[in-house]
Amino acid sequence: MQNSKFLSALFAAGITFVLACLMIGVKLDTEGTELAVTGATAEQWTWIGLGIGLVFLSQLFSNQIDAFFGKLPKPKLGGLLPEEKKRAALKPWLLAALIVGMLVWPFMVSRGAVDLATLTLIYIMLGLGLNIVVGLAGLLDLGFVAFYAVGAYTYALLSMYFGLSFWMCLPISAGLAALFGFLLGFPVLRLRGDYLAIVTLGFGEIIRILLNNWTELTNGPSGISGIPKPTLFGLEFTRRAKEEGAQTFHDFMGISYSSSYKVIFLYLIAVLLVIFVIYLINRLMRMPIGRAWEALREDEIACRSLGLNRTTIKLSAFTLGASTAGFAGSFFAARQGFISPESFIFIESAIILAIVVLGGMGSQIGVILAAIVMTILPELAREFAEYRMLLFGLLMVVMMRWRPEGLVPMKRPHLELKS
């Protein structure tokens, strides 16, 4: 026992050594026209040595360390929360306070923060959409970004060719993404698990490659720029109205122009969209169809024995998830003002999936929290530059080790024994 422990500790230390040498120990620099390899400084080597030692020791004494942490008293978070009844009474007030807070907050902070919050809200929308497909219906979709792309390009192309406005395109984008979800879902939903994952992965790539190569329609890799921003009942947020007769927001209100109005306006739209999506999904989850999604995830045969049509149920989940992504996509295009196939690569799908898994499959609050963590953390970790992805990976490993069910696991009603 002790021996195998020692071996595994040695192995872990060895892996750390190899990785650290490759990533920190050796650096490539350009000297004139040539690449030169420079070794790490003595100080860096000391740190690497210390790190390896730490890994070795923590592996060797992992049992003792686990026992030590096990003994530490766990904070009783349950006691901090008010009682069930009080909580139920407080809930609407808390919700109202949260919404008001979200609406007031942008007027007090910097432009950058509001912009970041808008991005977070987009990911929340995407996470909520994928949560229906993966978390509730249990269909592993690795190409979710395709629907996001469909939504974004729908708005971009419609506004470029036909001059349709954002508000008009929003439902069209959702509808078109839903249609794509339906078309993809129809043939592939008889597949299960890994097979479904591979097909959806392929679909995601097909859409991206199509956008890349259909140059006449989509401008290919150079993307579409100058996508108009949303307007408020026809009021534009630019310094001067683009068209004759159109009015700008600051003229109408009689205030001086500031570019932050636009950012705040976009943020507010995002807030409204997210609230709408949350409301819609919540309603659906309480309806029989929501329960059917979960039932199908749990036991397909039992579902069929009850006369449920699995294709319809899976398709509805798939289509609904896709339309949410289409929603997010068209908003993304409007916010960004520029889109190209580069924005819809596989890593985006992976991030959205990570949000769902990290948050706890099926749990809406978890997904929202995870979306916040996953978008804000990379921003905060900006100073670490190239080690950002490393930190990201570390976070994933730590999560899977200590909270495999996600940040906020999906809550199921349970009976409490009263003595």
Partner 1 sequence: MLRIENVNTHYGPIQALHDVSIEVKQGEIVTLIGANGAGKTTLMMTICGDPQATTGSVQFDGEEISNLQTASIMQKGLAIVPEGRRVFSGMTVEENLAMGGYFRTKAEAAETMEHVLELFPRLRERFSQRAGTMSGGEQQMLAIGRAMMSRPRMILLDEPSLGLAPIIIQQIFEIIQKLRDEGVTIFLVEQNANQALRIADRGYVLEHGHVVLEGSGQDLLTNEDVQKAYLGG
298 contacts partner 1 (rule: CB under 8 A): yes
Minimum CB separation of residue 368 from partner 1 in Å reads: 22
- Closer residue to partner 1 (CB): 70 or 307: 307
Q: Cβ neighbours of residue 358 under 8 Å, at least 6 residues apart? A: 366, 370, 373, 374, 396, 399, 406, 407
Q: Supply φ then ψ for residue 38, to 5 degrees.
A: -115, 140
Q: Which of 176, 156, 174, 175 is nearest to 165 (CA)?
A: 156
Alpha-carbon span 257 to 250, nearest angstrom: 6
Q: Supply φ then ψ for residue 415, to 5 degrees.
A: -90, 130
CB 225 within 8 A of CB 337: yes
299 contacts partner 1 (rule: CB under 8 A): yes
Q: Which of 305, 382, 386, 419 is the binder for partner 1 (CB under 8 A)?
A: 305
Alpha-carbon span 411 to 413, nearest angstrom: 6
Minimum CB separation of residue 404 from partner 1 in Å reads: 16
Binding to partner 1, residues 315-334 (CB under 8 A)? none
- Closer residue to partner 1 (CB): 316 or 349: 316
Binding to partner 1, residues 240-259 (CB under 8 A)? none
Minimum CB separation of residue 264 from partner 1 in Å reads: 42
Q: Which stretch binds partner 1 (CB under 8 A): 71-79, 247-255, 390-398, 408-416?
A: 408-416
Minimum CB separation of residue 287 from partner 1 in Å reads: 11
Alpha-carbon span 353 to 365, nearest angstrom: 15
- Closer residue to partner 1 (CB): 256 or 305: 305
Alpha-carbon span 327 to 329, nearest angstrom: 5
* Contact map string, positions 269 to 288, toward partner 1, x by CB under 8 A: -------------------x
Q: Which residue has the tokens 């509805």?
A: 316
Q: Which of 28, 77, 301, 385 is the binder for partner 1 (CB under 8 A)?
A: 301
Minimum CB separation of residue 187 from partner 1 in Å reads: 17
Size of the site for partner 1 (CB under 8 A): 21
Q: Which stretch binds partner 1 (CB under 8 A): 66-74, 299-307, 337-345, 353-361?
A: 299-307
Minimum CB separation of residue 181 from partner 1 in Å reads: 21
Greatest Cα pair distance, the chain, in angstroms, is 83
Q: Specify burial of residue 211 (Cβ count, 10 A radius: 0-12, 13-18, 19+).
A: buried
419 contacts partner 1 (rule: CB under 8 A): no
E strand segments, 288-380: 338-339
Alpha-carbon span 350 to 205, nearest angstrom: 13
- Closer residue to partner 1 (CB): 251 or 294: 294
> What residue ranges bind partner 1 (CB under 8 A)?
288, 291-292, 294-295, 298-299, 301-310, 412-415
